[in-house]
Amino acid sequence: MNAYDEYMKQVVKPMRSELTDAGFKELITTEDVQDHMAKAGGISLIVINSVCGCAAGLARPAVVAAVNELEVKPDNLVTVFAGQDQEATATMRSYFEEIPPSSPSIAIWKDDQLAYFIPREQIESNSMETIKEHLSGVLSQIVSS
């Protein structure tokens, strides 16, 4: 590993832990993603994490707050990190390849298909509270249906 890679690993550590500390499982390899997608039942909330300060700095706390306020939670909370775990991210995106790559972004996977997707454009132009309310509303509908 070169000095830049080591530096970036340290830079993203708190960005990773913001989600993992809230109960999200990191999918770091292609195999992690394939295993999750093959075996996970129910609803998966998938966060495609990113270094981007503006959008990701809003997305992570909004997702955590949305999940925390739900009475009925998604069955699985998972995350891949765009730009860091590139193969895992590419593999995850292949499950909803009709959606242009976007990071950060939020996907809701239900019954082996994409149920909802929030792209970066709907994250970066909104407040953390608006993102949280949007995600909470969508999750509430999907989880209860």
* Known catalytic residue at 139: no
Residue in 12, 47, 48, 52 annotated catalytic: 52
Q: Do you find a cis peptide bond into 104, omega within 30 degrees of 0?
A: yes
- Give CA–CA dist 39/21, Å, rounded: 23
Cβ-count burial of 70 within 10 angstroms (0-12 exposed, 13-18 middle, 19+ buried)? middle
Residue in 11, 54, 72, 99 annotated catalytic: 54
* Known catalytic residue at 54: yes
Residue 44 in 3-state DSSP? strand
Point out the residues that are catalytic: 52, 54
